[in-house]
């Protein structure tokens, strides 16, 4: 086993999934999974399995699809899988969509309703997750004060 294989398995390196290059970065607020290249019917299964490895524990997930140049209709099933798995695990997630992804999904950032949680950038996604944490703390704080 090479160092590259170990790094890829642990999420430190870039993994090639048949035309899509994927890399995961663990950050304080979330694991950012960056995908570049094409997502199509041929590689969507491999891409799904790679992403699925990072839907664990309570760590939020940001899917950075900013550099996805081609997003086939099969990619929608990938997003549904992520949404279902995150919901089952109690994990928040946010998609950062490229123009190709947004076009296929019909996502407009000016629209209040989208099928999946969407942000314009990784920075915006992380800020949104941080704001959600602050909001939850503000809801819990009065309860803690009453029981103390």
Among 36-45, 52-61, 97-106, 131-140, the minimum mean pLDDT is found in 131-140
Is pLDDT of 7 > 50? no
Q: What is the dihedral of CA 19, 21, 125, 92, to 10 degrees?
A: 90
The answer to the question of residue 30 being in a domain is: yes
Average pLDDT of the residues in 53-77: 92
Is pLDDT of 16 > 70? yes
The answer to the question of residue 101 being in a domain is: yes
The answer to the question of residue 148 being in a domain is: no
Split into its structural domains, the chain has a count of 1
Work out whether the CA dihedral 99, 105, 111, 114 comes out positive or negative. negative
Length of the chain: 148
Is pLDDT of 133 > 50? yes
Is pLDDT of 147 > 90? no
Q: For all residues of the chain together, what is the average pLDDT?
A: 83
CA distances from 78 to 12, 25, 62 (A): 22, 20, 14
The answer to the question of residue 137 being in a domain is: yes
The answer to the question of residue 3 being in a domain is: no
The answer to the question of residue 86 being in a domain is: yes
The answer to the question of residue 9 being in a domain is: no
Give pTM, 2 decimals.
0.78
Residue of 114 and 120 predicted with greater confidence: 120
CA distances from 131 to 5, 23, 29, 38, 52 (A): 36, 25, 11, 32, 25
The answer to the question of residue 82 being in a domain is: yes
- State which residues form the domain around 54: 15-142
Q: Which CATH number covers residue 110? A: 3.30.750.24
| DSSP states of 68-83 | EEEE-THHHHHHHHHH
Among 44-53, 60-69, 107-116, 127-136, the minimum mean pLDDT is found in 107-116
Question: Residue 48 corresponds to which tokens in the numbers above?
Answer: 């799904």
Q: How confident is the model at residue 143 (pLDDT cuts 50, 70, 90)?
A: low
């Amino acid at each position: 086993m090479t160092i590259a294989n170990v790094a890829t398995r642990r999420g430190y390196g870039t993994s090639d999934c048949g035309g899509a290059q994927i890399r995961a970065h663990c950050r304080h607020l979330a694991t950012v999974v960056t995908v570049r290249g094409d997502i199509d019917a041929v590689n969507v299964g491999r891409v799904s399995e790679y992403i699925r490895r990072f839907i664990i524990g309570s760590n939020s997930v940001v899917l950075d699809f900013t550099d996805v140049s081609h997003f086939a209709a099969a990619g929608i099933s990938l997003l549904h899988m992520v949404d279902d798995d995150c919901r089952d695990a109690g994990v928040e997630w946010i998609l950062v969509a490229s123009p190709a992804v947004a076009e296929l999904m019909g996502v407009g950032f000016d629209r209040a309703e989208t099928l999946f949680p969407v942000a314009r950038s990784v920075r915006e996604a992380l800020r949104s997750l941080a704001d959600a944490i602050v909001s939850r703390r503000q809801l819990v704080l009065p309860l803690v004060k009453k029981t103390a």
